[in-house]
Structure 1
Amino acid sequence: MILQLGLKTKILAIAFSIGAFLSLTSCYTLSGSSIHPTWETINIAVFPNYAPYQNPNLSPEFTNKLQDIFNNRTKLSLTNSDDSDLYIDGEITGYQQTSVAIQANEIAGKNRLTITVRVRYENRKDETKSFDKSFSAYEDFESNQTLQQAESALLESIIDQLTQQIFNAVAMDW
């Protein structure tokens, strides 16, 4: 009888814990958590590529991905209007290949592509949340590949990392 009572108590405790967890998670959402519900519009300008190395696809791919992440994860409407609630612009400032994982014979085991983006975020409803800062992301690739051979696969991942960093900084105050 005592064993059964202990088992029932454990089952009830687990069920209660699960219920409490589910009720708390339904009250809190990460996506857009610091974007006030009354804010309706966001203007994300084209990010020109001012990096010394020019990839002609980088600017439109980056800008589109940044617009997509805000469009898909918030209720904000994208606009080109100058009176939007939130405004993001900037430029691609770095696009650099470096050698990493140097081996004993002083030959690079891997290469790294790093992209840096300067972002100016203007929150026109709450100026304390505005910022001007740079974000960087990188991916490594095998040293037996040229940058041109690895570039298309690397760009997708790096752009995903950068746009996630920017989204987190804007939408979650990170």
Structure 2
Amino acid sequence: MRYITYLLVSIFTLFTFCGCGSFSGNYSLSGSSIDPSWKTIYIAPFPNYAQLQNPSLSQDLNLTLQDVFRNRTKLNLSGTDDSDLIIEGEITGYEVMPMSIQSNDIAAENRLTVTVKVKYINNIDETKSFDRTFSAYENFPGSQLLSDVEPTILPNIIDLIRDQVFASIAMDW
């Protein structure tokens, strides 16, 4: 039984580090399917069109997206829209909604949801391009104000959106 367990763990480890399913040769250790011939990416600023505004959300989202592509791919960030890959979009939602109502009609828990519309343009392989909407949320106690929890929960929401966008582009999800 121990031998079978060891064998299964070894096979799993082998597939994990060798990039199982990488028949096209476009996968890296991080699981990215970005073609090695793609060299540049431009990530345009995301204007904030949400009704409720956070003044730093647009910049924070943009910097987080730039960081993930700089750190997890070999793409070079470009300042122009004639790059191999282009990410542009807009923040369309920044909403707080009550989630759990107590017997006294007061929210026991609230949810901050951020929604972002993303247009991904692949100038080399247009079949990979898309327009999608991504959203993420975090719950917080109804006894706290958004302004009190925002510095803590907003970075988590931005990271969740970043991961969704990255997975959609770099891993064809």
TM-score of the superposed pair, with normalisation by structure 2:
0.87
Aligned partner of 2:146 in structure 1 is: 147
Contact in 1 for aligned 2:116/2:135 (Cα 8 Å): yes
Count matched residues. 165
Indicate the percent of aligned positions where both proteins have the same amino acid.
Answer: 53
Task: Tell me: CA distance 1:143–1:18, structure 2 relative to 1, closer, same or farther (3 Å).
Answer: closer
Q: 1:111 aligned to 2:102?
A: no
Q: Mark the runs of 5 or more structure 1 residues left unpaired by the alignment.
A: 1-6
For the residues of structure 2 that align with 1:149 and 1:20, how far apart are their CA atoms?
48
Contact in 2 for aligned 1:88/1:120 (Cα 8 Å): yes
For the residues of structure 2 that align with 1:77 and 1:14, how far apart are their CA atoms?
42
Structure 1 residue 82, shift from structure 2 partner: 2.7
Q: Mark the runs of 5 or more structure 2 residues left unpaired by the alignment.
A: 20-27
Decide which moves more: 128-137 or 31-40. Answer: 31-40
Secondary structure in 2 matching 1:56? coil
Give deviations 1:19-54, integer Å, cap 9, x for gaps: 433332222046352211111111001111111112
Give deviations 1:5-25, integer Å, cap 9, x for gaps: xx8xx64x5555444333322
Give deviations 1:69-113, integer Å, cap 9, x for gaps: 111111111111332111000011111111111123322111111
Contact in 2 for aligned 1:109/1:142 (Cα 8 Å): yes
Contact in 2 for aligned 1:118/1:135 (Cα 8 Å): yes
As a proportion of its length, which structure holds more helix? 1
Structure 1 residue 159, shift from structure 2 partner: 0.3
Aligned partner of 1:40 in structure 2 is: 39
Q: 1:58 aligned to 2:49?
A: no
